[in-house]
Amino acid sequence: MNSVVKLNSMEKLTIVKVGGKIVEESISLKKLLSDFSKIKGNKVLVHGGGRSATALASKLGIESEMVNGRRITNAEMLKVVTMVYGGLVNKQIVAELQAIHVNALGLTGADLNYMRSEKRPVLDVDYGYVGDVKEVNAEILVDLISKGVVPVLAPLTHDNNGNLLNTNADTIASEAAKALSGFFEVTLMYCFEKKGVLLNENDDDSVIEFLTQDLFDKYILDGIVKGGMIPKLENSFEALKAGVKQVVITRSDQIHLDAGTKMML
């Protein structure tokens, strides 16, 4: 019944994806979560933690291997990312949110079976135990949110056969946003070290305020948008096409402000 109420009323929901050192260093994490708590209405936090995983793996004598910015996740590395993403980073965030009176619940995709994936097939690269999302049980998240819970989503999913799978945090955020767009008016926010998408990568104030698909295509041809930003923005436009109301690219300390690059179809 709660899901029907949400579906009809279309309350606003903000999904914030943040990663890197922001969630792995005490001072920046506290600042992030303070700003996150100021976002009005329903909210979800999606986090990464790759630096911590790499550091722990090194201490354990496990080599980290990356291809095109993606982690190769063998059986030993899967244990590491499970400990770091589903344990250390996720539960630290939950504890910090509870300290500022945000009633958070940390989840992997296996918890409550909210997100199922399949092991990525081997094509040019064998990524190992990496999952491609196939199903999101949105009503589980809706039920939690309707009870005032703030889900904190770790970048781990499961295959429904007892296996956890390492899954890109950007993908977790976009798939959750798409699934929840049937129940809420969703704003998806991707946070990184810049104020938004820049016209000039050497000028932090050259933020592109609004970005359409046509402009995106033009900026790629002009070499303005390149590298790892391209797949992030491609995922963003896919989310918009799937029903997400708005996608914002911004800096983590601006998530509670009307700032950054706003993407639209």
pLDDT confidence band for 9 (50 / 70 / 90) = low
Q: Is 130 a domain residue?
A: yes
Q: Is 110 a domain residue?
A: yes
Q: What is the pLDDT of residue 8?
A: 46
Contact 199, 206 (CB under 8 A): yes
pLDDT confidence band for 3 (50 / 70 / 90) = very low
Pairwise pLDDT comparison (251 vs 10), residue with the higher score: 251
Which domain does 153 fall in, by range? 2-193
- Please report which helix (H) or strand (E) contains residue 262, including its range: strand 261-263
Domains of the chain: total: 1
> Cβ contacts of residue 176 below 8 Å, gap of 6+?
15, 44, 46, 115, 136, 138, 141, 153
Query: Average of pLDDT values for 10-37?
Result: 91
**CATH value at residue 182:** 3.40.1160.10
Q: Is 124 a domain residue?
A: yes
Residue type, 64: S
Helices 138-146 & 2-9, crossing angle to 10 degrees?
90
Q: In this prediction, what percent of the chain has a pLDDT beyond 90?
A: 74
Q: Is 219 a domain residue?
A: no
pLDDT confidence band for 66 (50 / 70 / 90) = confident
Q: Whole-angstrom Cα distance, residue 32 to residue 16? A: 11
Query: Average of pLDDT values for 35-46?
Result: 95
Closest to 47 in 3D by CA, of 72, 29, 62: 29
- Please report which helix (H) or strand (E) contains residue 152, including its range: strand 150-153
3-state secondary structure of 223: coil
pLDDT at 222 over 80: yes
Q: Is 233 a domain residue?
A: no
Q: Is 66 a domain residue?
A: yes
Closest to 106 in 3D by CA, of 167, 157, 149, 152: 152
Q: Whole-angstrom Cα distance, residue 218 to residue 199? A: 12
Q: What is the DSSP string of 43-105?
A: EEEEE--HHHHHHHHHHTT----EETTEE-B-HHHHHHHIIIIIIIIHHHHHHHHHHTT--EE
Q: Is 86 a domain residue?
A: yes
Pairwise pLDDT comparison (139 vs 5), residue with the higher score: 139
